[in-house]
Chain A
Amino acid sequence: MSRIPGLRRLMRIVRNDTGVARAVDDELHFHLEMTMRELIDAGMSPDDARREAGRRFGDVQRTRQRLTDLDRALLGQERRVERWNAFVQDLRYAVRGIRQKPGFAAAVVVTLGLGIGANAAMFRIVDRLLFRPPAYLASPNLAGRIYFEQTFRDKRAANTYTGYRRYLDLRENTTSFDAMAPFTVNSLAVGEGTDTHEMNLGVTGADFWKLFDVRPVRGRFFTAQEDRPPYGAHVVVLSYAFWQTRFGGRDPLGQQLHIGPAKYTIIGVAPERFTGFSSAPVIGFIPMTAQMGDANPDLKHPWYDTYYMSWFEIFARRNSTVTLAAANADLTRAQQLSFKKQATISKNLSSFDIARPSAFIGPVLLNRGPNEGKEAKVATWLLGVAGIVLLIACANVANLLLARALKRRREIAVRVALGISRWRLFAQLLTESLLLAALAAVAALAIAQWGGDAMRRVLLDETAPGPTAFADSRILIVVAALAVLTGVFCGLAPVLQATREDVASALKAGSREGTVHRSRLRAGLLVAQAALSVLLLVGAGLFLRSLANANGVRLGYDADRLLWVDLNARGTKLDSAQQREIRQSLLERAARLPGVEGAARVVSVPFWMTWEEDLRVAGIDSVSKLGDFTLQAVTPGYFSTSGTRILRGRGITEEDHAGAPHVMVVDESMAAKLWPNQSALGKCVRLNADTAPCNTVVGVAEDIRGSDIGKRDMHYYLSIAQFHPETGGLFVRTSAPAADHAEAIRRGLQPLMPGASYVTVTPLSQVIAGETRSWKIGATMFAVFGVLALVIAAIGLYSVIAYNVAQRTHEMGVRVALGAQARNVVGLVVREGLVIVLPGVALGAAIALVASHWLQPLLFQTSAKDPPTMVGVAVTLILVAVLASWIPALRAARVDPSVALRAD
């Protein structure tokens, strides 16, 4: 047919809108012409014939329009069907491909699933820490947390915690805010009798509810009338979850709940997932004025009129007509007024010009602000790490797909030769990788769900199960987006390779023919994989060393053998004699409990509660300028209980009773700071006033760490009998890990507590764990991701080497036939593996060195360029490379030359 010129064009089917119109014209034209010819043949004049043909046809223009419309609709319909059919065909083709090679598909799905899943799980955490505003927060752009800034010891620092007087000052003197509320989470005893448990409650003000776009599911929220100092109303709004578990969803309104020392009336229930500004679940919300009124009944020093106690943060919403800068200026003015007012009361306050107080409204999420936690930094790093794992997984999958595409060269060439368009081929291959990515996304969701909960436990120290990943649209969107991205990205390499393929040579060549396809792209991917693995493993190594260093630090007390016993009065009013008595009886009882090696009274707890007094030392102008000196007041036997060593002199003993001369034990750092190059023993230190009695230094103890694990504290000990005998709790030393004894000791001591008061027993190791957590997280997560990356990279290397060996079977056969020994062949193949991995190792190490600058602040007493870590990782990678190429190498060495040479 194509021999007749122009015919092909003539026969072409119309595929566009103008084509449709032309075709209709052609059709009608043909018809009218035929009719006219027939009429002329029958004897009509041409003019009459034309008229008659038109008459018979009717309205030509209208028909023409109608036909064009019909045909256009038909064309659209056909195109949709065609596209759908193509898609179904591609899908079928992809499914067939997956079915033919289930192992291959499983490898891809698992690799990508792990990569995407790791990212989704990390995203959940980072989202929580950094992006997701608290549930129900009204206009997140206007809401914020108030930060106070001032200069102290030449450093400008931002702080969020403040007291009630300050809060009232800011409320009175600012005009830029629609709502402003104090908020803190308090652990309070809830319930009665043996059913009493400490639970978290949101303690806040009436304005709190205005900051959220929230309606009570039952009852109402508390109002400004119920939130007035000195005594607020005893009303509580329950959280949804607590309402469900405690009241089974029955009407709780009007019922009483024992919270702390008082009974609170339940007035409402907050909606599901509402936790206010708390990141952890709370059981309800109470007015701060009610809680503080109970806790501080003493109105000689009213809690709401002092600047000294700082126990909550302020959240506010800026009026939408006020700019951020104006609001901050407004806040700063109010804060400066407040500071001046404070200065008239307090003599100890630093001068206004030095402190230069200011305030601003910062992000609601603490980790977005200037005082971000280490967890958030580590989590952000880990998100990057998860991204690297995904990259490695992607590289691997691209590699696998590439290998498969190479194996299918001939099939693809045949399809191209048969006239399949490049675009269709492209769509087909892409459909395949997208289908695999979709399957991986399903696996990823399962991994994110399971791994995410585990990660949250490690990272956020949360044990409560979170919302399920499947219910969370943000996670679903992230997973879907990652799946599409990776699907396209992984699919791209083989698609490009395949569509570039030269049909003729591919059809002609057997695997023996022509050059061996050692793709540079594949090798490049492997180098990248190796480099990224090095990066992650170096990270893991550095964090592991940090953790080991942190754990290896001598704290100056035996944290894992110590329990801290705290007393909670809860409504029981005791005078100071009774306070002394009850502590004495607790001490005596504790010492006799089984498993206890010693007990002593204390007034402060490392990392949790510190106590400072103003010190006066002869010959030193201002001791406080030399740094922070923290104190501990103890009973005799403290040092043997805590395990703190006395280096010189003696500890606190029975002879240091209330009437005896006042004594003090200092630690080495303090001694060195106050009396450099002198003996501290016998020196005199006065507390708070130059006229106060002398505390004579009778001993020097080893340093302890109680504020920062990397820093030795300047710390001193007093005899509690000579200091504040009516305060504090106990340290109890146990014969085995303290946590095992905590409950038994609590049960042993509780009967001594009068009325509704109670004791809490906390292992000190739990306190320390909080301090080392960021390194533990870093070590765990980098190690998990690093090993994951290494395994994926090893599989990738193995598959590439194995593939290359399979392609070179012929060559190996020739070598063996020419007398090559097995060991030569093995060496040849293993060397090939190393040639790929070594540049990767070098590249990874180089990147790690560059990145060390940013990682350094997150480490503990470890250089980010730690040579043993670097070397260890390099050796590990090389070993893995050797192992990964070993199996294909052995296979190559076993090639039977007669078979290899005859094949293909």
Chain B
Amino acid sequence: MLAADLDLLQGTLDLLILKTLTWGPKHGYAVASWIRQTTDDRLQIEEGALYTALHRMEKRGWLESEWGLSENNRRAKYYQLTTQGRKQLRAKAAVWTEYAGAVFKVLKTT
């Protein structure tokens, strides 16, 4: 449970959500579970912040939403990437990779 102490770097949450949605439309709960599972529970995100990020990105036009039926036949709000959202993902991923690479390089030179 490293995550509770790990402050998410600014903008990282957006990046994770965008990446998550590249596998198709998902509702908020699915996005949260997916991130949790993929990171083996190491990155635990406050779900309130996750929803805020979803809605904020929708307002910016990176995502669009639609009500649909969930796997267990419940009414749920599905989010989906827009073209603009994909563009954002590419840009953010590039920056993040570069950043992480740089940090990693520093750490490796002991």
Mark A residues whose CB is within 8 Å of B: 10-11, 13, 23, 26-28, 30-31, 33-35, 38, 56-60, 62-63, 66-67, 70-71, 73-74, 77
Q: Is the CB of B75 within 8 A of A10?
A: yes
Q: Is the CB of B48 within 8 A of A57?
A: yes
Q: Is the CB of A30 within 8 A of B67?
A: no
In the complex, what residues of A have CB within 8 A of residue B56's CB?
70
In the complex, what residues of A have CB within 8 A of residue B77's CB?
23, 26-27, 30
Q: Is the CB of A67 within 8 A of B76?
A: no
In the complex, what residues of B have CB within 8 A of residue A30's CB?
27-29, 70, 74-77
Q: How far is the CA of A555 from the CA of B97 in the complex (A)?
A: 105
Q: How far is the CA of A59 from the CA of B32 in the complex (A)?
A: 16
Chain B residue nearest in CB terms to A27: B77
Q: How far is the CA of A77 from the CA of B58 in the complex (A)?
A: 12
Q: How far is the CA of A10 from the CA of B48 in the complex (A)?
A: 25
Q: How far is the CA of A616 from the CA of B55 in the complex (A)?
A: 106
Q: How far is the CA of A63 from the CA of B59 in the complex (A)?
A: 16
B10 interface residue (CB < 8 Å to A): no
Chain B residue nearest in CB terms to A23: B77
Known A-B contacts A26-B75, A27-B77; the reply to A70 vs B55 at CB < 8 A is yes
B49 interface residue (CB < 8 Å to A): yes
Known A-B contacts A10-B75, A71-B55; the reply to A27 vs B28 at CB < 8 A is yes
In the complex, what residues of B have CB within 8 A of residue A34's CB?
29, 70
B47 interface residue (CB < 8 Å to A): yes
Q: How far is the CA of A173 from the CA of B44 in the complex (A)?
A: 95
Q: How far is the CA of A67 from the CA of B57 in the complex (A)?
A: 11
Q: How far is the CA of A604 from the CA of B74 in the complex (A)?
A: 106
In the complex, what residues of B have CB within 8 A of residue A10's CB?
67, 75
Q: How far is the CA of A23 from the CA of B29 in the complex (A)?
A: 15
Q: Which of A11, A60, A63, A67 contacts B67 (CB 8 A)?
A: A11
Q: Is the CB of B48 within 8 A of A63?
A: yes
Q: Is the CB of B67 within 8 A of A62?
A: no
Known A-B contacts A23-B77, A60-B48; the reply to A67 vs B55 at CB < 8 A is yes
Q: How far is the CA of A433 from the CA of B31 in the complex (A)?
A: 51
Report B38-92 residues with CB < 8 Å from chain A CB: 44, 46-49, 51-52, 55-56, 58-59, 67, 70, 74-77
Q: Is the CB of A56 within 8 A of B47?
A: yes
Known A-B contacts A11-B67, A13-B67, A56-B47; the reply to A63 vs B76 at CB < 8 A is no
In the complex, what residues of A have CB within 8 A of residue B47's CB?
31, 35, 56-58
Q: Is the CB of A35 within 8 A of B52?
A: no
Q: Is the CB of A73 within 8 A of B59?
A: yes
Q: Which of A35, A63, A73 contacts B51 (CB 8 A)?
A: A63
Give the tally of cross-chain contacts (CB within 8 A). 69
Chain A residue nearest in CB terms to B36: A56
Q: Is the CB of A74 within 8 A of B58?
A: yes
Chain B residue nearest in CB terms to A63: B48
Chain A residue nearest in CB terms to B44: A56
Q: How far is the CA of A60 from the CA of B58 in the complex (A)?
A: 20
Residues of B in contact with A, size category: 20 to 34
Q: Is the CB of B46 within 8 A of A57?
A: yes
Contacts beyond the supplied A31-B27, A58-B48: 4 A-B pairs with Cβ under 8 Å = A27-B77, A31-B28, A31-B29, A57-B46
Q: How far is the CB of B27 from chain A (nearest CB, A)?
A: 7
In the complex, what residues of A have CB within 8 A of residue B75's CB?
10, 26, 30
What are 7 A-B interface contacts by the 8 Å CB criterion? A31-B32, A33-B74, A59-B48, A63-B52, A70-B55, A70-B56, A70-B58
Q: How far is the CA of A13 from the CA of B66 in the complex (A)?
A: 8
Q: How far is the CB of B76 from chain A (nearest CB, A)?
A: 5
Q: How far is the CA of A11 from the CA of B48 in the complex (A)?
A: 25
Kindly supply a per-residue 1/0 record for chain B positions 10-38, scoring 1 wherever the CB is within 8 Å of any chain A CB and 0 otherwise: 00000000000000000111001100000
Q: How far is the CA of A66 from the CA of B46 in the complex (A)?
A: 15
In the complex, what residues of A have CB within 8 A of residue B32's CB?
31
Q: Is the CB of B51 within 8 A of A31?
A: yes
In the complex, what residues of B have CB within 8 A of residue A28's CB?
51
- Among A26, A33, A62, residue most surrounded by chain B Cβ atoms (within 10 Å): A26
In the complex, what residues of B have CB within 8 A of residue A35's CB?
29, 47
Q: Is the CB of B46 within 8 A of A58?
A: yes
Q: How far is the CB of B70 from chain A (nearest CB, A)?
A: 7
Q: Is the CB of B29 within 8 A of A58?
A: no
Q: Which of B59, B70, B74 contacts A74 (CB 8 A)?
A: B59
Chain B residue nearest in CB terms to A75: B59
Report B90-110 residues with CB < 8 Å from chain A CB: none
Q: Is the CB of A58 within 8 A of B49?
A: yes
In the complex, what residues of B have CB within 8 A of residue A57's CB?
46-48
Chain B residue nearest in CB terms to A70: B55
Q: How far is the CA of A66 from the CA of B56 in the complex (A)?
A: 10
Q: How far is the CA of A799 from the CA of B93 in the complex (A)?
A: 67
Q: How far is the CA of A71 from the CA of B27 in the complex (A)?
A: 16
In the complex, what residues of B have CB within 8 A of residue A33's CB?
74
Chain B residue nearest in CB terms to A60: B48
Chain A residue nearest in CB terms to B58: A74
Q: How far is the CA of A11 from the CA of B76 in the complex (A)?
A: 10
Q: Which of B27, B48, B55, B76 contacts A62 (CB 8 A)?
A: B48
Top 9 closest pairs, chain A to chain B, by CB:
A58-B48, A63-B48, A70-B55, A58-B46, A34-B29, A74-B59, A57-B47, A31-B29, A27-B77
Q: How far is the CA of A122 from the CA of B55 in the complex (A)?
A: 59
- Among A23, A27, A60, A71, residue most surrounded by chain B Cβ atoms (within 10 Å): A27
In the complex, what residues of B have CB within 8 A of residue A71's CB?
55, 58-59
Chain A residue nearest in CB terms to B74: A30
Q: How far is the CA of A82 from the CA of B4 in the complex (A)?
A: 43
Q: How far is the CB of B25 from chain A (nearest CB, A)?
A: 14
Q: How far is the CA of A231 from the CA of B74 in the complex (A)?
A: 103
Q: How far is the CA of A66 from the CA of B49 in the complex (A)?
A: 10
In the complex, what residues of A have CB within 8 A of residue B29's CB?
30-31, 34-35
Q: How far is the CA of A28 from the CA of B28 in the complex (A)?
A: 9
In the complex, what residues of A have CB within 8 A of residue B76's CB?
27, 30
Q: How far is the CB of A60 from chain B (nearest CB, A)?
A: 7
Q: How far is the CA of A58 from the CA of B53 in the complex (A)?
A: 14
